[in-house]
Structure 1
Amino acid sequence: MKKFALVLIMVMLVAGMIFAGGTKEAGKKLIGVVTPSADHGFTAESIQHAEAHVKKVSAQYGYDYRFMTAAESGEQSNAVETILGMKPGVIVLWPVTGDELRSAAQSVMDAGVPLVVYDRFIEGLVPNAEISGDNVAIGEGVGRYFNEYFKAELAQGKVNYLEFKGDSSTVPMERTNGFLSTVDPKFTVVQSFVTNWSQQTSMEQMENYLNTKSVAEIESIKAIFTHDDEIVFGLVEALKNYRGPAKINIRLITGVSAGEGFMKLFENSGLTGIEFMTYTFSPSMVRDAVDLGVKVLQGETLQKEYKVPTEMIDKTNYKAYMQGDLYTTRYSL
């Protein structure tokens, strides 16, 4: 029996699925939480916050809980079905990929179980509530920042930039669309990359760009718009390692997250002449999604949409930000 249990645990680990919580106690309301597994720093931090918070509120209100992570959409669908079989009072779902979780999410709604979808939405599906950081506002803010930062260059003509996206989910789409809605038309995207939120991938993509493009093409780039701080870290490494003939004329690189690592870039990035800006997008936001699940269990009716406010962070305000509640909460675990 012990041998069988050990084999089962190993299979679950290999599959990339983590399950927290034991057998449901009779008479207790159950909150189910399903998230992606830790494929990069943001999801890793988010998982810590989600599990810690659902444990805390379950103990506080006398609820039971199930917390599951999965690396792939198919595994995540299985996790949803597993929790659904336990007759939960609500499920909080953070999809790996929205479209691929459509069937599982619909099964929750068909069963009459309230559904809260966090961060990556499922197009065409209307759950009880959707909650995320304000991705459109982030894109819009970056566009306005570009306009002001490059005001002199825009007066003389077009300004070339590169874009490094996260993945194919609704999050990058919202950020890009927000950006395009506010940025001056004279900004020209020379190339757009999809990084899957990977620092390693963004580094390799930037290295390939620097090693294959002409001197004129490289020197024409004045800015880089990215969808995540970790992407920025990869770009910084590639730029620091570049030894080619072109002069790097990049003046601004933007990120999203405003984590500790990005704050260090304001102090010393190792790159001369390049400035940085990011928008807050804290992993602790997932606590708000769990809190919506708690409200459902308490009989409250939810709004259809919730947006967590975001704040621009650059060299002018990063020190004050690091003393604030949002930053403190992020690193409270």
Structure 2
Amino acid sequence: MKKYLALILAIVMSLSLVACGGGGGGGNTETPSGGGETQTGGEPAAGGDIYVLVPNADHGWTGAVLTYAQQKAEEVNAEGTYNVVVQAATDAKNQQEQIDDLLAAATPPAGIVILPYDNTMESSMASIAATDIPFIMVDRIIDNPVVQEKVTANVKGDNEGIGKATAERFIEDGLQPGDKLYVMIGDTSSVPEMRNKGFTETLAANGWTEEQLATIEYSAATGWSRSTGKQLFIDWINSKTVEELGEYHYIFTHDDEIGMGILEALSGTEIEQAKKDAFLESIKSIGSSSGLGEMYEVLSGTHANTAYPDIVANFDLFSVTYPPKMIQTAVDDMISHLNGESVEKDHTITVDVVDSTNVADYEGF
């Protein structure tokens, strides 16, 4: 009798395992450690799995990166050679956990494409570099010698080029050595460092001394957030006197979300009117970057906020391109590498300056 009961129990357990996910490997079967979003391809592919790890959609640009990554996954998975799995991390710890899971898996990924959450990902990137798994970094490049020795490619926008193009535009708009400058930075990753480097090196090449460069004011990190950028701008402008605001003619923001935060602040009521008037009478140029569709609407005069045309009529507003579609370029590079083709190790995407005169030629996200 006991033998029959044991046999019946074994059969029931086997059926339960089948019902819980045994057959085929299709569908969304994986969830990254600690949360986040996952997209998994269909049937197992002959070429193996390519994992695309990106930050969660915490602002416009990363949201576009995630969307483009998912679109690319659908395209590649439909072809059937490779299976692309997209994972979005809620924070740096979550992304570290995702990497730990991949490196501990019985079957290693065919390749990893990763936009590191921030600079705290350095040890995790070194862990990937210690394996034979090919990997490509996107946008936020970890400049560690061990990582750089093994990385398949660095796919990035021209961050220094953004700073350079912004400085050159300001100079065209009349910027002189020693003029008052306010820079609103993104975060503490390599991206703002490179944008500021391109900016200040261009100023230095155009006559700025070290002492004059040291007078440039920098905001606290905005985290690429419109609301944080807006509040930092409000606090900054309200901290100045009307006379002091008359000395500021140029503002360099690291992202269109920050630029939109400035415009929202200028169209709102949280800035003293006298200071708002002084700022708008003084400002000559505001530069941002990335290609946010809403910023392109402001540049083209089609934005729903009817206050914006009068505001931006006072100064030169422009945005330097930094396409989130670079995540698709990185996946293409990984596939080329896995197919035995050579890829450019430092794959830098050039920049363009977009303003009201040429915005119709560009697609925002």
Q: TM-score, normalised by structure 1?
A: 0.86
SS in 1 for 2:168: helix
Deviation at 1:202? 0.9
Deviation at 1:232? 0.4
Give the alignment partner of residue 265 of structure 1, picking from 287, 298, 311. 298
* Residue identity in the other structure for 2:332: D
Deviation at 1:111? 1.9
Distance, in Å, in 2 between the alignment partners of 1:192 and 1:104 is: 29
Deviation at 1:292? 1.1
Name the residue aligned to 1:220: 247
SS in 1 for 2:220: strand
* Residue identity in the other structure for 1:139: G
Cα distance change of structure 1 residues 23 and 317 upon mapping to structure 2, 3 Å threshold: closer
Name the residue aligned to 2:272: 243
CA contact (8 A) 1:66 1:83 kept: no
Deviation at 1:158? 3.5
SS in 2 for 1:245: helix
Name the residue aligned to 1:305: 346
**Are residues 1:55 and 2:74 paired?**
yes
Distance, in Å, in 2 between the alignment partners of 1:302 and 1:192 is: 38
Give the alignment partner of residue 189 of structure 1, picking from 216, 220, 227. 216
CA contact (8 A) 1:203 1:237 kept: yes
Give the alignment partner of residue 117 of structure 1, picking from 137, 151, 157. 137
* Residue identity in the other structure for 2:116: P
* Residue identity in the other structure for 2:248: I
**Are residues 1:144 and 2:168 paired?**
yes
Deviation at 1:117? 0.5
Deviation at 1:109? 2.3
Instruction: Summarize deviations over 1:151-178 as a string: whole Å, max 9, x none.
Output: 5xx3xx7321210010011111100000
Name the residue aligned to 2:4: none
Q: Which has the higher strand share?
A: 1
Distance, in Å, in 2 between the alignment partners of 1:200 and 1:316 is: 28
CA contact (8 A) 2:286 2:316 kept: yes
Over the matched positions of the two proteins, sequence identity in percent amounts to 27
**Are residues 1:163 and 2:187 paired?**
no
Q: CA RMSD in A?
A: 2.4
Deviation at 1:15? 4.3
Instruction: Summarize deviations over 1:43-84 as a string: whole Å, max 9, x none.
Output: 011101011102212322521222111021111011122233
Cα distance change of structure 1 residues 194 and 26 upon mapping to structure 2, 3 Å threshold: closer
Give the alignment partner of residue 252 of structure 1, picking from 285, 308, 316. 285
CA contact (8 A) 2:184 2:258 kept: yes
SS in 2 for 1:123: coil
Name the residue aligned to 1:203: 230
Uncovered stretches (5+) of structure 2, i.e. residues with no partner: 1-15, 21-27, 302-307
Distance, in Å, in 1 between the alignment partners of 2:59 and 2:32 is: 17
Deviation at 1:102? 2.1
Deviation at 1:283? 1.5
Deviation at 1:190? 3.4
Distance, in Å, in 1 between the alignment partners of 2:32 and 2:99 is: 18
Name the residue aligned to 1:232: 259
* Residue identity in the other structure for 2:242: V
**Are residues 1:17 and 2:36 paired?**
yes
Cα distance change of structure 1 residues 14 and 117 upon mapping to structure 2, 3 Å threshold: closer
SS in 1 for 2:325: helix
Distance, in Å, in 1 between the alignment partners of 2:125 and 2:217 is: 38
CA contact (8 A) 2:32 2:98 kept: no
Name the residue aligned to 1:68: 87
* Residue identity in the other structure for 2:298: L
* Residue identity in the other structure for 1:89: A
Cα distance change of structure 1 residues 72 and 24 upon mapping to structure 2, 3 Å threshold: farther
Which is further off, 58-67 or 36-45? 58-67
Deviation at 1:27? 4.6
* Residue identity in the other structure for 2:320: Y
Q: TM-score, normalised by structure 2?
A: 0.79
Q: How does 1:69-108 map to 2 (within 5 A)?
A: 69-84=88-103, 85=105, 86-98=107-119, 100-108=120-128
* Residue identity in the other structure for 1:221: Y
Distance, in Å, in 2 between the alignment partners of 1:80 and 1:300 is: 26
Which is further off, 114-123 or 100-109? 100-109
SS in 2 for 1:83: helix
Distance, in Å, in 2 between the alignment partners of 1:173 and 1:55 is: 34
Matched residue count:
311
